Amino acid sequence: MALAPSSWQRTPPALSDNRRKRRPDASPPSHHFHGPQSHSRLSQRLRRWFPLPPQARSVVFDMGNYVSGLFGGRQPKDNGLGLLKSWYDARSRDLTVATDEETGTAQRLLDRRVKDSRKAALEAVKRQQRQKSEPYYKKALEEARRNDGRLEEIGIEVRLKEEKLAEIRKLDKAAKEDLSELFKPLTEEEENEVHDCFHARGPSSKVLVLHEPSNIEVSKEKFQCLRPRHWLNDEVINLYLELLKEREKREPKRFLKCHFFNTFFYKKLACGKNGYDYKSVKRWTTHRKLGYELIECDKIFVPVHKDVHWCLAIINMKENTFHYLDSLGGTDHNVLNMLARYIAEEVKDKSNKVIDTSSWHEEIVDGIPLQQNGWDCGMFMLKYIDFHSRGLSLSFSQEHMEYFRKRTAKEILKLRAD
């Protein structure tokens, strides 16, 4: 029996206008913090008109061919860069990792996910109340410095001279670097061998290369990702990183002591119940497996795959810094926060030492080489690693990518990185 209208519960008139209505079929809000949701109108239109195609999940995705197909056989002026950015912007929000609690190992770097805004606000007020006021003499000193124009002028002069000195040192270092080996042309025989593997007929499942120490095999189909306008896949990237490890062992005096994590490490570390799971990767770096501990390394390379885009994170153990290299010019503090937490736990577990990563800083490198199309991010990442492992500046650009693809193909076929 239906209730009479007079018995219905009514919303007070003062509140009815301010209530937010929710559609019954609306999905629940995500528990991750995604940051600002600002996207350009062009980016939103590109995502709506051209969503990420299913074939992008395949082992070899010809991004260049896909883009030209969208534009009636013509190649757009930006070579698909705008389309890649629209996919990347739409999906990067879902890849942000947040932790449930602060660890104390990197107070400056690590953030905290807020589940209850009211509770968080109360805690913030309590923390403010507990904070001690700054001594009066410090306030007075700061005030005196602000009022002293001469000190400010001297500070500006010092900064300018330091910047000029850093630029001179950078140019001097670049002049001393021998880059001839890094751009050595392929011989005619090597060119033919690479061309045959790219274009020869035969079953796509045929294994072209087997790296026995790592048990990584690259089939004819997977090898095609090194052709121009294709996205690089895990097998090719991981095999090349294995070759870089062997190169360092062969010539330890020529190359820095580095550790190269494969493409699955960060996925494993970041996919725990709370967005961080050290236990899942704890056994990856035992002394028995590596023959060394990470604290002994100069640099640690961590490939980061953001669904449609490759980036690189570097832990510089000698300079106590973190680097994030993105060929689209972006940055991700959450990745570096997680690695700060990881390296502190790793050193404590394997070396029984305590390092305070809160005193480490993120080093921003201006003028890194950036991609100018929608398919070369993987190759940029590999060359970031190659140049950094040599201790060289990143002295390459988009125009070198076709050569680097052929060179990488040649090195993989020979199972030896030069």
> Could you tell me the CA-to-CA distances from 210 to 172, 193, 220, 324 in Å, in that order?
42, 17, 12, 31
At 302, list the tokens.
């961590």
Do 113 and 337 contact (CB within 8 A), yes or no? no
* 3-state SS assignment for residue 371: coil
As a whole number of angstroms, the distance between CA 363 and CA 385 comes to 16
Q: Could you tell me the two tokens for 403?
A: 């050569």
How buried is 256 (Cβ within 10 angstroms: 0-12 exposed, 13-18 middle, 19+ buried)? middle
The structure tokens listed for 362 are 């993120």
Q: What is the DSSP string of 166-205?
A: HHHHHHHHHHH---TGGGPPPPHHHHHHHHHHHH--S-TT
Catalytic residue among 211, 259, 305, 309: 309
Q: Is 309 noted as a catalytic residue in this protein?
A: yes
Q: Choose, from 326, 332, 376, 386, the residue flagged as catalytic.
A: 326
Residue among 197, 258, 377, 386 flagged as catalytic: 377
Q: Sign of the CA dihedral 323, 329, 334, 335?
A: negative
326 is catalytic: yes
On whether the CB atoms of residues 240 and 211 are closer than 8 A, the answer is no
User: Are 261 and 303 contacting, i.e. CB atoms less than 8 angstroms apart?
Assistant: yes
Query: Positive or negative CA dihedral for 128, 129, 132, 133?
Result: positive
For 98-147, list the strands marked E by DSSP.
Answer: none
Cβ count near 325 (within 10 Å):
22
**Which of 59, 63, 66 lies closest to 204 in space, CA to CA?**
59
Q: How many residues does the chain have?
A: 418
Nearest to 302 by CA among 325, 282, 321, 318: 325
Which of 261, 228, 308, 262 lies closest to 47, judged by CA? 308
CB 372 within 8 A of CB 186: no
Instruction: List, by residue number, the catalytic residues.
Output: 309, 326, 377
